[in-house]
Chains A and B, each alone.
Chain A
Amino acid sequence: MPLTPEQVREHIPFLEKYVYLDNGATTPVPLPVQEAMSAYYNEYLANVERGAYSVAHEAHERFERARENAAKLLLGCEPGEFVFTRNLTHASNIVAYALEHPLLTTKDGTFTLSEPLVDWKSGGKKNIVGTMLEHHSNTMPWLRLAHHVGAEYRVVRPSNDMVLSPDDLLEAVDGNTRFVAFQHVSNVLGSIHPVREITRALKEAYPDIMVFIDGSQGPGHLPVDVKDIGCDFYGFSGHKGPLGPQGTGGLYIRKEVGERMDPMEVGGGMMADVTLEGYTVRTDAVGRRFDAGTPNIPGMIGLGRAAEYVAKDIGMDRIDERERHLAQRLIGRIKDLPGVKIYGPENPEHRGGVVTFTIEGWLCHDVSNALDDGWRILTRSGHHCCLPLARWLGTIDRYGGTTRASMGYYNMEREVDLLAEALESLTGG
């Protein structure tokens, strides 16, 4: 039987004290995930891929099992294509680095630069395409990359209902586009974009374009199958939807691309051989090429258990359905309150569990502070690390940004109703 929201709440004691509606920022870590992590500390603590003794073997096995769980259950990819990261930001930076730096490794005894992943130089000026909706972590790495490689950075705006469409993207790309980065789910608007259709349309029109998807708000909120999407890269945060520990995340890299990528960090664990003239990077598994140094072993073991928790113990479809339901319930209750404006898709099919709003005359931070102080309701306020979007929406000057309630599977209808009542008191509605 799948875990009910009430059962999940028993695994998250923190929820007894607060109405936690800031799941878009980070999520609580349920007790079974914490237990998997403490088992590492208490029962089989050792470094991975280093020692030959039995406990080291067990630690290594469990670490790799965690990678397999996270890869298969959260993204639908093979463990060899899965890189453990600290967060989504780490994932996008790994990709940006490799797009700028050709792979350096020893070939035929000589330390050699390989063919670059992208040829930025020959032909006309190249371009990178992003969108207006992106988090800073899915904008800044590409702005810097574009600057360093002399490419243009183009920005797509959604033409309808704050949801990106294949046509929106197709309008921006051309034969000189080399890389496109866009989100799966907006942390501000709650928009769920048709990433499969967009990726396929882009690849069909220009097969050489590489596609990065920011899935920070994806896995753990809804089912994700990167193979079906057809992207080259898909990054996510382990500490959000998947209910993994803070400081964890992951990156899917399509195998053929990964084999040609230069790792951002070099050192122990990711090399096949080192001499004083040069080194050879690992080629046995793409994922491990990016594990330089001792990884966050307990964190990753936690992420592996968290993947099982959301995908098997609860079920991604159930989570998706419930978060959408809670968001729609809140929208229904607050949309007509005086001065309240809700941002994001009107069509409920295109909106996940995020409800972002402003109240006329109020600073968003004052609203959030009032909700905490008066009702113990925890929400996020501000630009949500999406300054270009906040400026485009015009919320920064007027309200200091927006206030956001973001749902988890374990949130209750009564909590959403309490938020609605609190907003009624604030607005006099």
Chain B
Amino acid sequence: MTRVMSDEEAEEYILAMLREAREPLLTREIEERMHRMDGQCPDSSVRFLNRLRLQGKIKGKLSIERRGWIWWVERE
């Protein structure tokens, strides 16, 4: 059974993951990485990611070519 992370833990983990990534990540890729460390977003991943997007903490948009939503953080 995977563990449901707390809001703060999931946010920190996702921000770090997106900062390190060389290109925007698909929802599926984020989910897979979280599963690899036995974690799960407190909400469904898209809902959680969307919440971070609406709070302005990450960027996200639909990519028809990549068949899903892609997520990234702006570099300073």
Q: Please give the residue numbers on chain A whose beta carbons come within 8 Å of chain B beta carbons, in ascending order.
A: 359, 361-363, 365-366, 368-370, 373-374, 381-382, 400, 425-426, 428
Residue in A373, A400, A428 whose CB lies within 8 Å of B62? A373
CB distance from A379 to the nearest CB of B (A): 12
Residues of B in contact, count (CB < 8 Å) = 13
Contact A365 B46 (CB under 8 A): yes
37-60 of chain B: CB within 8 A of chain A: 44-47, 50
Contact B64 A366 (CB under 8 A): no
Contact with A along B14-51 (1 / 0, CB 8 A): 00000000000001100100000000000011110010
A-B contact pairs, 26 of them (CB 8 A): A359-B67, A361-B67, A361-B68, A362-B67, A362-B68, A363-B27, A363-B28, A363-B31, A363-B68, A365-B27, A365-B45, A365-B46, A365-B47, A366-B46, A366-B62, A366-B67, A366-B68, A369-B50, A369-B62, A369-B69, A370-B69, A373-B62, A374-B62, A381-B46, A382-B44, A426-B64
Contacts of A428 in B (CB 8 A): 64
Rounded to whole angstroms, the CA-CA distance of A428 and B62 in the bound complex is 14
Contacts of B69 in A (CB 8 A): 366, 369-370
Rounded to whole angstroms, the CA-CA distance of A370 and B64 in the bound complex is 10
Chain A: CB-nearest residue to B45: A365
Contacts of B27 in A (CB 8 A): 363, 365-366
Chain B: CB-nearest residue to A372: B50
Rounded to whole angstroms, the CA-CA distance of A400 and B28 in the bound complex is 9
Contacts of B45 in A (CB 8 A): 365, 400
Rounded to whole angstroms, the CA-CA distance of A381 and B28 in the bound complex is 15
Rounded to whole angstroms, the CA-CA distance of A425 and B28 in the bound complex is 21
Rounded to whole angstroms, the CA-CA distance of A362 and B66 in the bound complex is 9
CB distance from A428 to the nearest CB of B (A): 7
Rounded to whole angstroms, the CA-CA distance of A257 and B28 in the bound complex is 50
Contacts of A363 in B (CB 8 A): 27-28, 31, 46, 68
Contact A370 B28 (CB under 8 A): no
Rounded to whole angstroms, the CA-CA distance of A425 and B64 in the bound complex is 8
4 pairs of A and B residues whose beta carbons are closest in the complex? A365-B46, A366-B68, A361-B67, A370-B62
Contacts of A400 in B (CB 8 A): 31, 44-45
Rounded to whole angstroms, the CA-CA distance of A428 and B66 in the bound complex is 12
Given contacts A365-B46, A369-B46, 7 further A-B contacts (CB under 8 A): A363-B46, A365-B47, A366-B28, A366-B46, A366-B68, A382-B44, A426-B64
Residue in A359, A368, A374, A426 whose CB lies within 8 Å of B46? A368
Rounded to whole angstroms, the CA-CA distance of A374 and B45 in the bound complex is 19
